Structure 1
């Protein structure tokens, strides 16, 4: 099988400790081991990713995308969004955008930035396929945008 250039779009990806990050991390790792050129587009809201903008362990390139959630964390005095959930004062209240954005706040907080970066990366690298893995479901908007450019799209719905 010839090596492919693959864009994997996942909001949850290491360094976040979220269990949802493990599946896309393993997917990227094993696709790269099979000889494919894997690029991961993920949020910057969970902090710096080792290998950002360069080769990550196992030959995976990481592209961090802007995320308005980062500003939410900074307003609370944190650098990373997951720090908000480690706090003793975490209340479990829904995100403020949840009251006005349906189905999810990340559709406006992350997806527009990620979509722009995905299209730019495709112009520079020409991906053979895009794989989007949810939740959040807004990742599929990025896959749809690339599919409209003729890139085959695989939607992984967990």
Structure 2
């Protein structure tokens, strides 16, 4: 039996770092041994806050990775420009120029819709077409966010109806993702997102998501489609990343709590901090909490002025982050949604 020729379309791929690359990286790493000839199409210059070049070594040599340019500003510049347009401002500034901010930001959202990464899709479509034709691709998997990547998959399905199309929702889009991030909280973005999701789900031969509740939420919006068109594929974990994992003792005698991942408003440690601060001083002093990953600007105020032992390690490459976990007594996961 011949191998399945698979094209994975993902804006995010190593050397980009963080949680957004792990799912697709694992597919590229393990699917070749399961009878797949894997090609990956990714952004050459993704606008991302973190890089982890060591992850590139996990991509098997037989996996072809094609990278195309995105017409975006680098991440830090993009954030500064957005903030100057009013993405981040004091209440006083918001009152002083609400009309200007609303008009300018609204125009940006109408042009870069459903997300800024849509600037990658024109070049990605051309590259995807070349890969499908050149390699005789049997199936395409598009993984999102950014959800504009589905525009590439939808275009390919119309261009090559015989190619199987799988849409992978790493986050539930309309109810969670749009509300979780400031850029998506705009009527124009929501209308565009709803239209793209409907087109995607109807064109895809299979729509995946990471939890059963996400699958059910997406499926509930499309009662005309059979349940066989939806499936749950959990994230799991990569055993190879934890080979040799062992607990490491420390001489300080404290209880070390470790949080790995970006701190967003929907994963705020506010209530964890409040709980610690409610303890008697002697008990509270035994805890030391390490944050491994970025803390978003929206959550900076949550950390300020706390009478707690807090250590911010910032973003670390995966191997270093895992070593930090080895030295922890307790791992912390916070979600408020």
Q: Which residue, out of 120, 125, 129, partners 2:130? A: 120
Give the corresponding residue for 1:129: 139
Q: Which residue, out of 106, 120, 128, partners 1:110? A: 120
Counterpart mapping for 1:133-152 below 5 A: 133-148=143-158, 149-150=160-161, 151-152=163-164
Give the corresponding residue for 1:38: 38
Shift of the 60–144 alpha-carbon distance from structure 1 to 2, 3 Å rule, reads same
Counterpart mapping for 1:78-89 below 5 A: 81=75, 84=76
Contact kept, 8 Å, 1:32 with 1:58, in 2: the verdict is no
Contact kept, 8 Å, 1:12 with 1:18, in 2: the verdict is no
Residue by residue over 1:84-104, the C-alpha shift from the partner in whole angstroms, topping out at 9 and shown as x without a partner, is 38xxx968736x743643321
Contact kept, 8 Å, 2:7 with 2:140, in 1: the verdict is yes
1:60 aligns with 2:63: yes
| Normalised TM-score (structure 2) | 0.37
Residue by residue over 1:52-105, the C-alpha shift from the partner in whole angstroms, topping out at 9 and shown as x without a partner, is xxxx52521100011112xx23xxxxxxx5xx38xxx968736x7436433212
Residue by residue over 1:11-50, the C-alpha shift from the partner in whole angstroms, topping out at 9 and shown as x without a partner, is 1111001310011000111111213110000000149995
Shift of the 104–91 alpha-carbon distance from structure 1 to 2, 3 Å rule, reads closer
Counterpart of 1:13 in 2: which secondary structure? coil
Contact kept, 8 Å, 2:43 with 2:120, in 1: the verdict is yes
Counterpart of 2:147 in 1: which secondary structure? coil
Q: Distance in 2 between matches of 1:91 and 1:103?
A: 18
Give the aligned length: 138
Give the corresponding residue for 1:19: 19
Q: Which runs of 5+ in 1 are unaligned?
A: 74-80
Q: Distance in 1 between matches of 2:65 and 2:113?
A: 29
The structure whose Rg is larger is 2
* CA RMSD of superposed structures (Å): 2.8
Q: Distance in 1 between matches of 2:117 and 2:9?
A: 14
Q: Return the structure number with greater relative CO, CA threshold 8 A, min gap 6.
A: 1
- TM-fit CA distance, 1:139: 1.2
Q: Distance in 1 between matches of 2:82 and 2:156?
A: 35
Residue by residue over 1:104-143, the C-alpha shift from the partner in whole angstroms, topping out at 9 and shown as x without a partner, is 1222x10111011101111111100000000011111111
Q: Distance in 1 between matches of 2:70 and 2:82?
A: 20
